[in-house]
Structures are given as C-alpha cells and as structure tokens.
Amino acid sequence: MRRREFLALACGTAAMWPLAARSQPPVLPAIGFMSGRSPEDSPHLLAAFRQGLSDFGFIEGQNITIEFRWAGGQYDRLPSLAAELVGRRVTVLAAVGGDASAAAAQQATSVIPIVFGIGGDPVQAGLVKSLNRPGGNVTGYTLLTNDLEPKRIGLLRELVPGALRIGALLGPAGVTVPARQEIEDATRKFGQHLFVAKVGSDAELDAALRSLIQEQVGALLVAASAYFDTRRDRITAFAAEHKLPAIYQFREYAVAGGLISYGPRITDSYYQAGIYVSRILKGTKPADLPVLQPTKFELVINLKTANALGLVVPNSMQLLADEVIE
C-alpha cells in the first residue's frame, strides 16, 4: 500500500472512533430489588413499585434496569443476595419483604443508597437514627405490622368470643420480643390461653400446623411475616380444612380464602418505595427522606369463608370493614 493511501485510511479510521463511541448505548442506572418474598406471590407489589417509578419518569428497559433477587421466605439466603447486588454495583438497593431483608442490605453496604420496607421499628432495629432524620445511606418505610398484633387479637376475640385457646404462628425474624409480649398480654386480658408455635422452616411449619390441632386451639393468629406471605395459600387451605377461624396481616390472605385480615394496604407501601427510589435517582440523599409510615389500615372480611366455618360476623364489624368479600 502506498504511503499516501495508508495515511488516508488511518485518518479515516481515527475519524470514525468518536462516532463509534457515540453510537454505543448509554449505561442505564441499575436498581437492585431484594425481597424476602417470592415472585409468584408478589406481582401486585411489583406493579405498584413500577408505578411509583413510572410516575417519576423511570421506565424499566428504557432509562433504568432492575435486578431482582428473591429469598422465598428463606431468610438465611438474604446476606448472599445482598452481596450479589452490591457486587453488581447497583445505583440504589430496594430491600423489601421483611426486616431481615433490610438488615442484610445494611450489612452489605454503607455506600449504596438503600430503601427498605419492614414491619417493625427501624430505629430499634438500628437501621436509622430517627424517623424524621434517618442519617446515613438508609431510608424507607415501616408498615407497623408487628405493632398491630394486639389489635388483631381483639378482632379475633370479637369474631370468635367462645375461643378460649388461641394459637399464634410466629415466623422467622417476624415478630420481635416486645410484640410477642403484647400478644400474650392481649390474650391474657381477654381471659384466653395462648399457644405459640415458632416457625423457621417448612418442616417446622408442618409440625406447627399439626400442633395447632393437637392443642385444640379455637382460633388462630398468623403473625406478620414475609415467610408466611410466601405460603399463604397453604396456610389458608389448612385453616379451611380444619375449620379454624384465623386472622392475618394483609388483604391478600382474605382474597385467598382467609377469614379476616387487618393491616396496612401493602401496595401503597411498594408504590412509595418506587417513589423514594426515583427521588434518590434524581439526586436526593436517603438521609433527607424521612421514614414513611402507613396512614390507612384496612379491615377485610371474607363472608364466604365465615359461612363455611359456621360463623356469624356481627353487623357492627361488617360496617367497620373496608371490604366484605361475598
């Protein structure tokens, strides 16, 4: 090749480098989404989370990507899932579906912003310094589900006044010691006896369900736990088979055939999580975002299930209900 032709070719190639660089697709911000739940029982929650992102202009696949990690109620998997997402260098980490998920995320990084979703007290759990001024790289929302257990005991008492022995299923890392004490105090107040079954695995859940029958409990409290959320169909089917009146934390249990639920509207919290992630992507620091708390709690009654159990739901309770499923 002649020297003049070689120089022309070299110059032409060099001129194309900036053009080639400009043609590369931009690297999109990545959101790490880690949950103690399972994807099969969370499509409505993901829809709410994506809606929160969308309302602030973030669309998956267009200007953000989302990396999902699910523990399926196996909380011992959460630390490794958090480490994976941190290793992927996500821009923001959403740690939802239980207190253990938030704890694992906090232990994995002190740099990447974290938006948590828990049921307990984030200050007591050491996640934030205060609700109004979280400090550090962590903020989010609390559903206060653990604090509502005594209220659920009272509703169960009103619905099944003749039940003198109450069973309570407590999930792994799902109920703090103070909350358990409040459950015991509530049953004692009503002159009822409490049988507690602590569940940390599927084998223990099988044993716990058998023990409820052996102990002849007259009603059941399924305490707030992402572990139980991933197994709600199994638990509500057990209650129906053994004609055991039970109360749960979220509406999705009553929709699945559970007798009654009382708690916050969980989709609202996932929507707010999407908004907080969006605000962080736009430059707001987690320390400047106060921890959110629910302002509305919903009572849902499944009358079809009540009829199958031979229960008469008082009119006063039906009037108070936010939804009656017939």
Q: What mean pLDDT is predicted for residues 186-198? A: 89
Please check whether residue 225 is in contact with residue 253, taking contact to mean a CB–CB distance below 8 angstroms. no
Q: Give residue 68's pLDDT.
A: 98
Same domain, 153 and 118: no
DSSP string, 216-279: T-SEEEE-S-HHHHTTHHHHHHHHHHTT--EEESSHHHHHTT-SEEEEE-HHHHHHHHHHHHHH
Note the pLDDT tens digit of each residue in 215-271: 999 999 998 888 899 999 999 999 999 999 999 999 999 999 999 999 999 999 999
pLDDT at 160: 94
The verdict on residue 192 lying in a domain is yes
**Domain range enclosing 206:** 146-264+298-325
198 shares its domain with 234 = yes
In the chain, alpha helices (H): 3-23, 43-54, 78-87, 99-108, 149-159, 177-189, 202-214, 226-229, 232-241, 251-255, 266-281, 303-309, 315-320
Do 45 and 189 have their domain in common? no
Confidence of residue 174 (pLDDT cuts 50, 70, 90): very low
Q: Are residues 110 and 40 in the same domain?
A: yes
Reply yes or no on whether the pLDDT at 307 is more than 70: yes
pLDDT for the residue 228: 92
Q: Is 80 exceeded by the pLDDT of residue 322?
A: yes
Which CATH number do you get for residue 65? 3.40.50.2300
Q: Which of 91-105, 180-194, 281-295 has the lowest mean pLDDT?
A: 180-194
- CA atoms of 194 and 178, how far apart (whole Å): 16
Identify whether residues 173 and 309 lie together within a single domain.
yes
Mean pLDDT for the chain overall: 89
Model confidence pLDDT, tens digit, residues 265-303: 999 999 999 999 999 999 999 999 999 999 889 999 999
Higher model confidence: residue 288 or residue 21? Answer: 288
Do 285 and 207 belong together in one domain?
no
